[in-house]
Structure 1
Amino acid sequence: MKRQLLALAALTVATGAMAQSSSVTLFGVADVSVAHLSTSGKSVTGLANGGNSSSRLGFRGVEDLGAGLKAGFWLEGGVTVDDGAASGFKFDRRSTLSLMGNFGELRVGRDKTPAYQNLETFHAFADAGMGAINGHSLISGSAAGTPEGSNPKRVSNSVSYLLPKLGGVYGQVTHSFGEQAGNNSLSSHTGLRLGYAAGPLNVAGAYGLVRGGTATTDVDYKTFNLGASYKLGSFTPMVLVASDRGADKRIDLYSFGLKMALGQGELRAAYSMYEDKKQDDADSQRLALGYGYALSKRTELYATIAHIKNDGKAARKLGSSLSPTPNVGKKLTGYEIGLRHNF
């Protein structure tokens, strides 16, 4: 009888622990390609990282707190497959703690900015590899006093609120603290995103503001973008318009893309135009074409070819991690064949 009572008590404790419904998941992406790029007087061949998706390693978990509340964490860092670099590994891609419920989600830590999420959502190659949108910041270089750049992919020291499911409406507002002595707003970032996704349609707009400059002089860097996609059977056309402005610079982007189910994979194509509104003869045009063949639900074999044409005063490069910066006014062509595995 005592043994039966002890067994029943142990089962009760175990059932109570399971009722809390907590989980921790190890996940990641391993992506590497053989790439070749050439421009006037320069060429390079080798292994490139993240030709389809950025390689990463992470941990995430959720705990059911009851009463409709959940707590979650997400720790994710970038890795390089070609050399296995792990020295100084840190969770620089995402490091967040969240509280979720019917009210939405409150998220704190390091995370993607709302404007960047629009760029990668409405571009056929997102922001990885040879055909990538080629940088989250259209204004090249980092802004003085803004270590993360004039239009950052991710920001640290941030607080975000994400809307709950409201039909097809979704949205996010984020503020990151600059934490600079003497000027509380210096290096801070504020961003928001609002969209609607229902059936085949997905459309969203985003805005971001970075406070740059010095301790005594403020320089605002602003980004705007609007994207849309619409699924028509096996075709998904998409369009993206973006603009980065600040420090007497303005670069506009117009991108048209297509994803199409083809055989046991997906065909991807994108055409993009970069227009420098403050400098003549400094525009660029890029065309990219790629195909991903699904070996399984988690593994893809892919190939991409891309070409960028720079005007006389432009020197933009392709998105590959191997891409050299061409001489001013010169073209750049590249191709890659790679393998991506999600786990």
Structure 2
Amino acid sequence: MSIYGVIMKKNLLALALLGSISGLACAQSNVTIYGIVDTGFIKETGSDGRMGENINNRIGFRGSEDLGSGYKATFQLEKRFNLNDGTISGVDWEGASNLGISSPFGAVRLGRLNELPTETFRTLDPFNQFGVGSMLLSSQRSTRLSNTVRYDSPNLSGFKLGATYSLGKNTNSDSIATGDIPMKNQGADNDGYAISVKYDNGGVSALANWSRLADSNDSSVWNLGGAYSFGPAKISLGYEKTHDKGWKLGSVKSGKRSSQDNWLLGLVYQLGAGRINASFSYMDIDHSSKWNGSKDIKKYSLGYEHKLSKRTTLYGMVSWSDFENGQVADFYRGSSADDSVTGVQVGITHKF
């Protein structure tokens, strides 16, 4: 065999080896690193000015492996932190820590995940339930759930369905029977459930949710709402009903035992690279064990966002909350709250 033939044979072997290595690489997990960094200044009535965030700061890792026939193994790990001082927010992997399988029939994930009602209902709020402009929040609101299995359906002609099941802390007959928080003795050691229905068809969207947090003494929340987009504007309307029985995720919240009705009206208006956000939130609280009759809160919010680029945004917002009296201010914000609170927030967000 000529020298030329030997060289060609070696080149072909090298190409074949490279091809097999490439095939192995394709079978590995595809991992995406992403995050948000956000900071600014906040000033509210009765409080000193402080540095804080609007959107939660985070760094995350999201990946998948193609299993063939439309199936994928998926995972997500997300850490939340405070940008202004570098400290960790919540548990080590506060944002997410889950593993699952996606398929043509939907996705199933296990671990720590977003709560369905919060994830969907917050889209009706022009401020996405962030910052001083956020709508008034239920005392049973929770952003993420641990020890949870979650199912998300594929898109079914504009409809998407979701469901979660969360284990409570009491996993045997004695685990929470005694101690500082005797959940079992007080009947508060229930498992958690949630169902969600969403519809999105161009300019029209609607949603409905029902949830019961784990270890909440069977407290429950349901909500519904929708949004309509036309030209540069979008209007949204939502209603939420909360039955708080004095517990939340295993912690005693006896001072919050109440029934709450919460309404939200929102408006978003695009102005080129800018966006105006406005909302009115109204909450009626029936705290009959301590109050004589129900009391209400009204909150008005106005904000502006301006995109400097695809990833970087400047923002500013102002809100005014009007509490019926000191009792309801104490219920919602704590003993130092004033009967009315004005909040101002400015800052910058970068997504990567």
In the TM superposition, what whole-angstrom CA distance separates every residue of 1:48-83 from its partner, at most 9, and x where no partner exists?
12x2x1111111111111111111111112111111
Aligned to 1:191: 194
> Bigger shift: 202-211 or 327-336?
327-336
Q: Which runs of 5+ in 2 are unaligned?
A: 1-5, 174-183, 246-256
Structure 1 residues 88 and 301, CA gap change in structure 2 (3 angstroms): closer
What's the counterpart of residue 285 of structure 2? 276
- Indicate how the Cα distance of structure 1 residues 226 and 196 shifts in structure 2: closer, same or farther if over 3 A, else same: same
CA distance in 1, matches of 2:91, 2:338: 38
CA distance in 2, matches of 1:87, 1:275: 31
Q: 1:296 aligns with which of 302, 306, 309?
A: 309
Aligned to 1:251: 260
Cα RMSD of the aligned pairs, angstroms, is: 2.3
Partners of 1:276 and 1:88 in 2: how far apart? 28
Mapped to 1, the partners of 2:322 and 2:349 lie a distance apart of 28
Please state whether the residue corresponding to 2:269 is helix, strand or coil: strand
Match of 2:153 among 163, 169, 172: 163
Q: Which amino acid counterpart does residue 28 of structure 1 have in structure 2?
A: G
Moved more, 293-302 or 64-73: 64-73
> 1:230-241 to 2 correspondence within 5 Å?
230-241=228-239
CA contact (8 A) 1:118 1:227 kept: no
Specify which structure has the higher proportion of helix. 2
**Matched positions, count:** 316
Q: Pairwise mapping of residues 15-54 of structure 1 onto structure 2 (< 5 A)?
A: 15-20=22-27, 22-38=29-45, 42-49=46-53, 51=54, 53-54=55-56
Give the distance between the partners of 2:336 and 2:87, measured in 1 at CA: 30
Partner of 2:58: 56
1:94 and 1:110 in contact (8 A); partners too:
yes
Look up the SS of the partner of 2:218 in the other structure.
Answer: strand
Structure 2 equivalent of residue 315 of structure 1: 329
Equivalent residue, structure 1, for 2:249? none
Secondary structure of the corresponding residue to residue 213 of structure 2? strand
What TM-score do you get using the length of structure 2 for normalisation? 0.84
> CA offset at residue 185 of structure 1?
8.4
Bigger relative contact order, structure 1 or 2, given CA contacts below 8 A and separation 6+? 1
Aligned to 1:16, the other structure's residue is in SS state helix
Other structure's SS at 2:133 match: coil
Q: 1-side partners of 2:298 and 2:228: how far apart? A: 24
Mapped to 2, the partners of 1:297 and 1:210 lie a distance apart of 37
User: Could you say if the C-alpha distance between residues 173 and 297 of structure 1 is closer, same or farther in structure 2, counting changes exceeding 3 Å?
Assistant: same
Q: Are 1:314 and 1:329, in contact at CA under 8 Å, matched by a contact in 2?
A: no
2:206 to 184, 203, 207: 203
Unmatched tracts of structure 1, length 5 or more: 140-149, 214-218, 319-323
Verify the 8 A CA contact 2:192 2:215 in the aligned structure 1: no
Whether contact under 8 Å (2:299, 2:319) holds in the other structure is yes
Identity %: 28
Aligned match of 1:11:
18
Q: 1:58 to 1:6 in 2, by over 3 A?
A: same
- Aligned pair in 2 of structure 1 residues 316, 165: CA closer, same or farther (>3 Å)? farther
- The structural deviation recorded for 1:256 is 0.2
Please tell me whether the aligned partners of residues 35 and 351 of structure 2 are also in contact (alpha carbons under 8 angstroms).
yes
Counterpart residue identity of residue 35, structure 2 = G
Partner of 2:221: 223
1:243: how far off?
0.9
79-88 or 5-14: bigger deviation: 79-88
Instruction: Describe the shift of the 1:73–1:196 C-alpha distance in structure 2 as closer, same or farther (beyond 3 A).
Output: same
SS of corresponding position for 1:118: helix
